[in-house]
Amino acid sequence: MDLRLLRYFVAVAEELHFGRAANRLHMSQPPLSRAIRQLEADLGTTLLHRSAAGVSLTPAGATLLTEARNLLEQSEQVRARVNAAASLTVGILADSTDPGIARLADSYRRLHPTVTITIRDADLTDPTCGLRAGLVDIAITRAPFDPTGLHLHELRADPLGAVLRTDDPLATRDRLTLADLADRAWFQFPPGTDALWQSFWNGGQSREGPVVRAVQECIQAVLWNGTIGLAPLGHHLSEELVVVPVTDLPPSPVVAAWPATDTNPLIPAFVQLAATAYRG
Amino acid sequence: MDLRLLRYFVAVAEELHFGRAANRLHMSQPPLSRAIRQLEADLGTTLLHRSAAGVSLTPAGATLLTEARNLLEQSEQVRARVNAAASLTVGILADSTDPGIARLADSYRRLHPTVTITIRDADLTDPTCGLRAGLVDIAITRAPFDPTGLHLHELRADPLGAVLRTDDPLATRDRLTLADLADRAWFQFPPGTDALWQSFWNGGQSREGPVVRAVQECIQAVLWNGTIGLAPLGHHLSEELVVVPVTDLPPSPVVAAWPATDTNPLIPAFVQLAATAYRG
DNA sequence: ATCGCCGATACCCGGTGGGTATCATCGCTG
DNA sequence: CAGCGATGATACCCACCGGGTATCGGCGAT
């Protein structure tokens, strides 16, 4: 059985007219007639009643119409699924300053040269980097966020510090507590941001402060407006900023997250590679 | 996408060797290589890693392997379902003496000349005429029987009578009750026969008597052994038998039955035709 | 370094899928 | 009732494609 013939048959069965169907298929009528006869011979049944009055479906033809539509639909899905298995989009959040992700992508490309891997920088609105919206296949992000329907894999946990201007009175301290920062203005995330995540990144409390949508905006908020935020230690954000450890905050985990329903075989391989890359 | 190419791909993916796969497909290696390249070009992805060491699947290839197997399997099912929709096997029970079924088959053939309709006479063991075993698409039989998983359509209800030899003392009566027959030997159906059906055709009670497997055997049992049985009125069974109405039995319904899961479009058409044929 | 295995390439041929021209049939209409 | 128009079937042709054979190239093993 040939999918081409099924496509032809569906056209004829829908039009109930060889001429119109041929037109729709951008071909002439005689080869179409022949193709349908061929399909009938292949299946060993008559699919259409032909008469000068018109064309009508036999019971076998009616069955084939629905079955063929179904099969053609599924063949398209196969195409889509195979294409999905040939490319991987990874969303990253807040770690755009981290060179690790670039090295990770490179080593993945070396391992799977046939796979197109794309890194997408997400904005802070969505800690799952568009995972639920289907924009990315995997998110590399920082917990916490609502994990419903997601598989998670913790890659690393970073101690957190307060991001301060170098001329801040606290900037010379080698450690801080949340109490030291209680009177400062904190970031505000846009509405719709995961509540868990928002409260954590504000030091576990609801805070007042300017709205930020991207990492660059956070840095600017600290530099220009004297607000304060949290960041993993060891990242060099700017010449004019320091990150001072805050001792009474739990470390911030970096997690890989992907939809529990996603069967893309590239995902486990990527997560494993990410795990070794982040461990080192 | 061409199912032929998918078949080729499955062979190569299973053998992981172009030569062996070509052998399995009864073709030579070069056109097979070309076909796989074609499939890759069509899908826009590499499906196989080729090296002198051997062939291995890319992630997209692994996905396609399962998807292709699935699609090929389904294409075979389409073929089977279309063939099923082009032929109808009707099982009939106990009414082989009824000329109505022959007329019904003829008028169905006139209505659907492309459909092969086959009438199968069932034995008394199975009142559903092999419906559950898949031997027939529709059963025209007499209730009662276990209707689980079946759709039923009552075609007619016949008053019942006792089948007696013409020289039986009761043969001249114009009506009887079950009480009149209480001391007679009744039929016995083979083990496995539907219990509902068995008890009904024995006058609603468990009875002693010879085992019968076919209508002919029932007639012979009455003629030769003096046993007794029930039959719808108005059928001429034999010159030496009469059917005397039994007034305290409910009429016996003739029903069309077919599997609730069967989507064969021939079934509704046949049932409708049967309904009008039996009504007349 | 060389041999051997295996997939790729080059090239050829016949069948098939597409085309055009025309026929046959049937329903409609004047 | 004859002629016309519409529609599917048939006849025939051509280009392309799916199959074949012969051979190359590259990598691994010895």
Report pLDDT digits (tens) over B139-148. Answer: 988 878 888 8
**Each residue's pLDDT tens digit, A27-47:** 888 999 889 988 888 888 888
Whole-number Å distance between alpha carbons of B197 and B252: 11
Average pLDDT, chain A: 83
What mean pLDDT is predicted for residues A141-153?
86
Q: Which residues from A are below 8 Å from B82, CB to CB? A: 43, 45, 60, 63-64, 67
Name A195's Cβ contacts closer than 8 Å, sequence gap at least 6. none
* Between B216 and A50, the higher pLDDT residue: A50
Average pLDDT, chain B: 83
For strands A116-121 and A87-92, give the pairing. Answer: parallel
How confident is the model over A115-132, as a mean pLDDT?
A: 81
Number of H helices, E strands in chain B: 8, 10
Confidence of residue B6 (pLDDT cuts 50, 70, 90): very high
A78·B68 Cβ contact <8 A: yes
The whole-number pLDDT of residue B258 equals 92
Query: Which of B2, B4, B266 is closest, CB to CB, to A59?
Result: B266
Q: Which of B168, B136, B129, B76 is nearest to B254 (CA)?
A: B129
What pLDDT score does A95 carry?
A: 58
Structure tokens at B7: 């078949």
Q: How far is the first Cα of chain A from the last one, in angstroms, to the nearest whole number?
A: 54
DSSP H helices in A49-186: 59-84, 100-111
- Topology annotation, domain A3-84: Arc Repressor Mutant, subunit A (1.10.10)
Q: Do A2 and B1 touch (CB under 8 A)?
A: no
Highest mean pLDDT among A63-72, A107-116, B124-133: A63-72
The per-residue pLDDT for A150 is: 92
Least confident of A58-67, B23-32, B88-97, B128-137: B88-97
Let me know if the fold of A87-157+252-279 is the same as that of A160-245.
Answer: yes
Q: Is A162 a residue whose pLDDT tops 60?
A: yes
Residue pair A252/A178 in contact by the 8 Å Cβ criterion: no
Q: Is the pLDDT of residue A199 over 60?
A: yes
Return the bridge partners of A90, or none: A119, A138
Interface test with A, best of B46, B55, B114 (most A CBs within 10 A): B114
Q: Which amino acid is at A221?
A: A
The CA distance from B102 to B109, in Å, is 11
Mean pLDDT of all residues in B167-174: 88
- pLDDT at residue A192 in the model: 76
> Position A66: which residue type?
T
Q: Is the Cβ–Cβ distance between A45 and B82 less than 8 Å?
A: yes
Q: Return positions of chain C under 7 A from a protein CB.
A: 4-11, 17-21, 25-28
Which CATH homologous superfamily contains domain B160-245? Periplasmic binding protein-like II (3.40.190.10)
Q: Looking at residue B215, what is its pLDDT?
A: 67
A31 touches strand C (CB under 7 A): yes
Identify the CATH homologous superfamily for domain A87-157+252-279: Periplasmic binding protein-like II (3.40.190.10)
pLDDT at B280: 61
Average pLDDT rounded to a whole number, residues B43-64:
85
Domain boundaries, chain A: 3-84, 87-157+252-279, 160-245
Of B253, B260, B252, B217, nearest to B131 (Cα)?
B260
Cross-chain residue pair B59–A3, CB shorter than 8 Å: no
Asked if pLDDT for residue B47 goes beyond 80, the answer is yes
pLDDT at A266: 82
- The residues of the protein lying within 7 Å (CB) of strand D read A 17-19, 29-30, 33-34, 36-37, 50, 52, 54-55; B 2, 4, 22, 26-28, 30-31, 34-35, 38, 51-53
Which comes out higher in pLDDT, residue B247 or A195? B247
Enclosing H/E stretch for B106: helix B100-111
Å between B161 CA and D22 C1'?
85
B265 and A63 in contact by Cβ < 8 A?
yes
Higher pLDDT, A150 or A240: A150
**Cα gap A16→A50, rounded to integer Å:** 9
Cβ atoms within 10 Å, residue A117: 18
Residue B72 to residues A70, A76, B39, B228: CA-CA distances in angstroms? Answer: 13, 14, 15, 57
Q: Rounded to an integer, what is the distance from CA B78 to the centroid of its chain?
A: 19
